[in-house]
């Protein structure tokens, strides 16, 4: 029986310096990989990795850079040279967030990691929530950093964006019949052993719909899904890469996959 997700006690948004994960908090035996897909994140990368390691000191970090013109890849290489916990995967061009996440999943499986924590590289996914999300992996197979579970939220989003996001998530719950409130966010932790069962090679989405599809594939593989409340914040540096045309294509893909599931095809 697949357990419905349950929100865990939220980490207060005002908490400035969360305690780092330690052996006494039950995660020391897990090999954790944090994946960061980057394109023009030179102003964020070094500070973000520093913050991640402040709260999860033993985590390895995989930077997947799509040949950023601003030199993000070179910055990542420099960090990897100085820190054995940092790894870099260079790709020839801007290939999309979905393919970057799939590459991180394959890397985690190929290199024997236990948990894969995915997050954006622009500080919209604050590292302070990592201890709470990772702690949930003691009970769940996928933990979602959720904007829409009690205690979660978004910062300074325009009304139109909030309406679209809420509508898409309601549509996903209806068509895919997944008991989660936030199916579209990328701030997630996956149990790598369960990813092996999720038929990722059949994933059709490459844009924003990837998050919904891969979560559905995990759900079909009988993953237990949990949610942990987060505040989605505005990026600290650089420009947003939201593309309206890609967003429309992704909504079309969600409808296509969702209707196939709804009618059992």
Q: Check pLDDT > 50 for residue 12.
A: no
- Residue 1 covered by a domain: no
Residue 260 tokens, joined: 């196939």
Q: For 26, left (φ over 0), alpha (ψ -120 to 50), or beta?
A: left
Q: Are the C-beta atoms of 53 and 85 separated by less than 8 Å?
A: yes
| C-alpha span between 186 and 209 (Å, rounded) | 11
pLDDT per position as a tens digit, 141-187: 999 999 999 999 998 888 888 888 888 888 888 888 899 999 999 99
pLDDT at position 156, please?
A: 83
- Residue 105 covered by a domain: yes
Q: Are the C-beta atoms of 184 and 168 separated by less than 8 Å?
A: yes
pLDDT band at 11 (very low <50, low <70, confident <90, very high): very low
pLDDT at position 245, please?
A: 66
| C-alpha span between 67 and 135 (Å, rounded) | 34
* b/e sequence 15-42, b meaning 16+ C-beta within 10 Å: eeebeebeeeeebeebbbbbbbbbbbbb
Look up the domain containing 63 and give its range. 23-262
CATH of the domain at 41: 3.90.550.10
Q: Widest CA span of the chain, in angstroms?
A: 53
- Residue 4 covered by a domain: no
pLDDT (mean) for 241-261:
67
- Residue 218 covered by a domain: yes
- Residue 252 covered by a domain: yes
Q: How many structural domains comprise the chain? A: 1
List 225's β-bridge partners, or say none. Answer: 142
- Residue 3 covered by a domain: no
The set of residues, in sequence order, having a beta carbon less than 8 Å from that of 45 and lying 6+ positions away, is 36, 38, 63, 72, 75, 76, 79, 121
Q: Check pLDDT > 90 for residue 190.
A: yes
- Residue 131 covered by a domain: yes
Q: Identify the residue whose tokens are 């995967």.
A: 89
- Residue 130 covered by a domain: yes
Q: Are the C-beta atoms of 239 and 249 separated by less than 8 Å?
A: no
Q: Check pLDDT > 70 for residue 52.
A: yes
| C-alpha span between 198 and 216 (Å, rounded) | 9
**What's the pTM?**
0.84
């Amino acid at each position: 029986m697949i357990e419905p997700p349950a929100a865990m006690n939220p980490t207060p948004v005002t908490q400035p310096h969360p305690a780092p994960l330690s052996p006494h908090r039950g995660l020391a035996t897990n090999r954790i990989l944090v994946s960061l897909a980057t394109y023009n994140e030179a102003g964020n990368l070094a500070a973000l990795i520093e913050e991640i390691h402040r709260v999860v000191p033993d985590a390895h970090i995989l930077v997947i850079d799509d040949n950023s013109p601003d030199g993000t890849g070179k910055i990542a290489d420099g960090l990897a040279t100085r820190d054995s916990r940092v790894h870099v995967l260079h790709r020839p061009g801007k290939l999309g967030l979905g393919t970057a996440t799939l590459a991180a999943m394959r890397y985690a499986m190929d290199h024997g990691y236990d948990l894969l924590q995915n997050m954006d590289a622009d500080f919209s996914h604050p590292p302070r929530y990592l201890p709470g999300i990772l702690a949930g992996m003691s009970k769940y197979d996928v933990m979602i950093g959720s904007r829409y579970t009690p205690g979660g939220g978004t910062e300074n989003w325009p009304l139109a964006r909030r309406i679209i996001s809420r509508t898409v998530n309601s549509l996903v719950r209806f068509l895919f019949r997944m008991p989660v409130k936030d199916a579209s966010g990328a701030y997630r932790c996956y149990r790598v052993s369960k990813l092996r069962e999720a038929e990722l090679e059949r994933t059709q989405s490459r844009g924003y719909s990837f998050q919904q599809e891969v979560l559905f594939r995990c759900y079909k593989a009988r993953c237990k899904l949990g949610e942990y409340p987060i505040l989605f914040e505005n990026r600290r540096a650089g420009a947003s890469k939201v593309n309206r045309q890609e967003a429309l294509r992704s909504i079309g893909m969600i409808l296509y996959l969702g209707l196939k599931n709804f009618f059992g095809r």
